[in-house]
Amino acid sequence: MYSEKVIDHFTNPRNVGEIEHPDGVGQVGNPKCGDIMRITLEIEDNTIKDIKFKTFGCGAAVATSSMVTELVKGKTLEEALTVSNAVVAEALGGLPETKMHCSNLAADAVHAAIKDYLSKKNKV
Catalytic residues: 33, 102
* CA 119 – CA 114 distance, rounded (Å): 9
- Residue from the set 64, 69, 85, 103 that interacts with another protein by CB under 8 A: 103
Q: Assess contact for 33 and 13: CB atoms under 8 A.
A: no
Three-state DSSP at 35 gives strand
Nearest to 34, CA basis, from 109, 116, 114, 99: 99
With CB under 8 A as the contact rule, the residue among 58, 81, 91, 100 that binds another protein is 58
| Dist. CA 46–CA 49, nearest whole Å | 9
Based on the shown chain and the rule CB under 8 A, indicate whether residue 28 belongs to the binding site for another protein: no
Q: Does 57 bind another protein (CB under 8 A)?
A: yes
Q: Of the two residues 4 and 45, which places its CB atom closer to another protein in the complex?
A: 4
Residues that bind another protein (CB under 8 A): 2, 7, 10-11, 13, 16, 18, 27, 31-38, 54-62, 98-99, 102-103
